[in-house]
Amino acid sequence: MTLDAFIRALPKVELHVHLVGSASIATVLELSRRYPGSEVPTSEEELRRFYTFRDFPHFAEVYRAVNRLVREPADVATLVLGLARDLAAQGGRYAELQVTPYAHHVVGMPMREVTEALDLAARRSLDEHGVEMAYIFDIPGEYGEEAARITVDHALQEPPAALVGFGLAGIEQERVKYQAAFRDAFAAARAAGLHSLPHGGEMTGPETIWEVIEGYGAERIGHGISCMSDERLVAHLRDTQLPLDVCPTSNVCTGQIAAIGDHPLPRMLEAGLYVTLNSDDPPMFGTTLAREYRVAADAFGLGRNELAGLARNGVRASYLPKERKQALLEEIDDLITADT
């Protein structure tokens, strides 16, 4: 089969994707037409121009504009179902979707109603699209102690049934002054049985990765790409096989990496690090989960066995039940066998 057909057929999981950032043209059109008069275009042609990635400031503008369309719990469900539809079309089977409860709190959505919308959307995602959804509640780090408190309160008091993890995202440079509050929030979440899944080493150096490991008990790290500048950290990550959720196109679009050929993913693999492949904010960066696999082939020279290895890494690093993991791993092995 062709490489694109192989990638499409490869059972894939998405471990690093944000709720608002996952909104495709079709989903945003549904929301913008629901709320005419917003700054988001309601015609497909105009919306495609608005949505085309230009630079990081424009991405931030689009992200904020779409976020302002999420006004009711039904809008939250629309985003989840839109992602499920989009993943199903490219061979996605499961996602751990990063949700920011603080963003819904500040527009007045009650915790219980947001949770009900997430629960309903998870059921419909599986029933209608065959995609299993799990959730990670993340703190937007630049909003500090209040955001940490709201996020952990929602996670502990009104969690959706599919909540598996607790995260920390946002502008890494703003996080240092709030570390004590973030450590407390992660300690409470972990005590309640949630997995620690913070971002680290996307916008800053390896010191941020050490902080999420030592301060937050990270079990998987979002991005982690600055690790390669610290030999001791590379050795630690290799020895512990702590998974790193890498998003190559995102890193180029946000300016963390100058060009795709400079991305450290190949060196991370060569160093024996545990890497998974993900999309982050796919439509906003002009990508998809499947396209990230194509980028890995074209830009990094990875062959089909190596692409399958990345897919296996994602399955193993996920919080799917053991039997579902085994079934997906067997599907990946069967695809490799059929392709040879």
Tokens of 24: 């495709």
The amino acid present at 92, given as its one-letter code, is G
Neighbours of 25 (CB within 10 A): 14
pTM over 0.85, yes/no: yes
pLDDT band at residue 37 under the 50/70/90 scheme: confident
State mean pLDDT over 142-166.
97
With beta carbons less than 8 A apart as the criterion, state whether 241 and 274 touch.
yes
State mean pLDDT over 91-106.
97
Is the confidence at residue 124, as pLDDT, over 90? yes
Percent with pLDDT over 70 in the chain: 100
pLDDT band at residue 86 under the 50/70/90 scheme: very high
CATH classification of the domain holding 21: 3.20.20.140
| Average pLDDT along the chain | 96
Q: Which of 83, 66, 74 is nearest to 131 (CA)?
A: 83
Is the confidence at residue 19, as pLDDT, over 90? yes
Strands (E), the chain: 12-18, 92-99, 132-140, 163-169, 195-196, 199-200, 221-223, 244-246, 275-277
Taking phi first (over 0 means left), then psi (-120 to 50 degrees means alpha), and beta for anything else, what does residue 286 get? left
Q: How far is the C-alpha of 223 from the C-alpha of 137, rounded, in Å?
A: 17
Is the confidence at residue 56, as pLDDT, over 90? no
Task: Look up the domain containing 265 and give its range.
Answer: 3-339
Is the confidence at residue 69, as pLDDT, over 90? yes
Integer angstrom CA distances of residue 150 from 4, 44, 157, 339: 43, 36, 10, 49
Question: 247-270 as b/e, with b when 16 or more CB fall inside 10 Å?
Answer: bbbbbbbbebbeebeebbbbebbe
pLDDT band at residue 63 under the 50/70/90 scheme: very high
State mean pLDDT over 250-276.
97
Integer angstrom CA distances of residue 60 from 64, 101, 199, 281: 6, 19, 18, 11
Is the confidence at residue 32, as pLDDT, over 90? yes
pLDDT band at residue 202 under the 50/70/90 scheme: very high
pLDDT at 340: 80
State mean pLDDT over 50-75.
92
pLDDT band at residue 68 under the 50/70/90 scheme: very high
Q: Which residues are catalytic?
A: 202
Give the chain's domain count.
1
With beta carbons less than 8 A apart as the criterion, state whether 49 and 3 touch.
no
